[in-house]
Amino acid sequence: MVQLSFLSLVLAATSAVALELFVPEPCTFTATPTPTTSIPVGKRDPKGLDALAQRKRRYFGVAFDVNRMSDAAYTQLILAQFGQITAENSLKWETTEPSRGVFNFTNGDIVVKTAQRNKMSCQSIAPLRAHTLVWHSQLPSWVGNGNFTKKELISVMKNHINNVAGHYRGVPYAWDVVNEAFNEDGSFRQTVFYSTIGEEYIDIAFKQARLVDPKALLAINDYNIDGQGPKSTAMINLVKNARKRGVPIDQIGAQAHLVVGTLPTTIRENWQAMANLGVWVAVTELDIRMPTPANATSLAQQAADYKTVVNACLAVSRCVGVTVWGASDKYSWVPEVFSGEGAPLPYDDNLAPKPAYNAIVQALKA
Ligand code: XIL
Q: Are 23 and 121 in contact (CB under 8 A)?
A: yes
pLDDT, tens only, 296-305: 999 999 999 9
pLDDT, tens only, 164-194: 999 999 999 999 999 999 999 999 999 999 9
Q: Could you tell me the CA-to-CA distances from 2 to 9, 10, 170, 216, 248 in Å, in that order?
A: 11, 12, 12, 8, 9
Does the beta carbon of 179 sit less than 6 angstroms from any atom of ligand 1? Answer: yes
pLDDT in the model for residue 43: 86
Find the 245 Cα to ligand 1 centroid distance in Å.
Answer: 31
Identify the CA nearest to 66 among candidates 75, 57, 58.
Answer: 75
Atom of ligand 1 nearest to the CA of 336: 7
Q: Does domain 49-365 have CATH number 3.40.605.10?
A: no
pLDDT in the model for residue 20: 28
- What SS3 class is residue 261? coil
pLDDT in the model for residue 37: 61
Find the 213 Cα to ligand 1 centroid distance in Å.
Answer: 24
Does the beta carbon of 6 sit less than 6 angstroms from any atom of ligand 1? Answer: no
Atom of ligand 1 nearest to the CA of 92: 14
pLDDT, tens only, 314-353: 999 999 999 999 999 999 999 999 999 999 999 999 999 9
Predicted confidence (pLDDT) at residue 23 exceeds the cutoff of 80:
no
Does the beta carbon of 89 sit less than 6 angstroms from any atom of ligand 1? Answer: yes
Beta bridge partners of 319: 281
Higher pLDDT: 3 or 266? It is 266
Q: Does 336 participate in catalysis according to the annotation? A: no
Average pLDDT over residues 255-282: 98
Does the beta carbon of 196 sit less than 6 angstroms from any atom of ligand 1? Answer: no
pLDDT in the model for residue 18: 26
Write down the domain spans for the chain: 49-365
pLDDT in the model for residue 116: 77
Give, for ligand 1, the residue of 325, 332, 337 to mutate: max count of ligand atoms closer than 8 Å to Cβ.
325
Predicted confidence (pLDDT) at residue 13 exceeds the cutoff of 90:
no
pLDDT, tens only, 69-90: 999 999 999 999 999 999 999 9
Predicted confidence (pLDDT) at residue 279 exceeds the cutoff of 60:
yes
Confidence of residue 217 (pLDDT cuts 50, 70, 90): very high
Does the beta carbon of 338 sit less than 6 angstroms from any atom of ligand 1? Answer: no
CA 219 to centroid of chain Cα atoms: 9
Average predicted confidence (pLDDT) for the chain? 90
Contacts of 356 (CB under 8 A, 6+ apart): 288, 299, 302, 303, 305, 306, 345, 346
pLDDT in the model for residue 120: 56
pTM of the model: 0.91
Q: What is the DSSP letter of 28?
A: T
Does the beta carbon of 255 sit less than 6 angstroms from any atom of ligand 1? Answer: yes
Confidence of residue 22 (pLDDT cuts 50, 70, 90): very low
Find the 244 Cα to ligand 1 centroid distance in Å.
Answer: 31
Residue of 88, 97, 180, 285 with catalytic role: 285
Find the 263 Cα to ligand 1 centroid distance in Å.
Answer: 21
Gap between the Cα atoms of 77 and 327, Å rounded: 8
Predicted confidence (pLDDT) at residue 19 exceeds the cutoff of 50:
no
pLDDT in the model for residue 118: 73
Find the 35 Cα to ligand 1 centroid distance in Å.
Answer: 24
Find the 14 Cα to ligand 1 centroid distance in Å.
Answer: 33
Higher pLDDT: 200 or 118? It is 200
Beta bridge partners of 219: 176, 251
Gap between the Cα atoms of 24 and 85, Å rounded: 17
Residue nearest atom 9 of ligand 1, based on CA coordinates: 89
Average pLDDT over residues 300-315: 98
pLDDT, tens only, 144-165: 999 999 999 999 999 999 999 9
Confidence of residue 16 (pLDDT cuts 50, 70, 90): very low
Does the beta carbon of 93 sit less than 6 angstroms from any atom of ligand 1? Answer: no
Average pLDDT over residues 37-66: 91
Angle at 206 between CA 82 and CA 273, to 5 degrees: 65
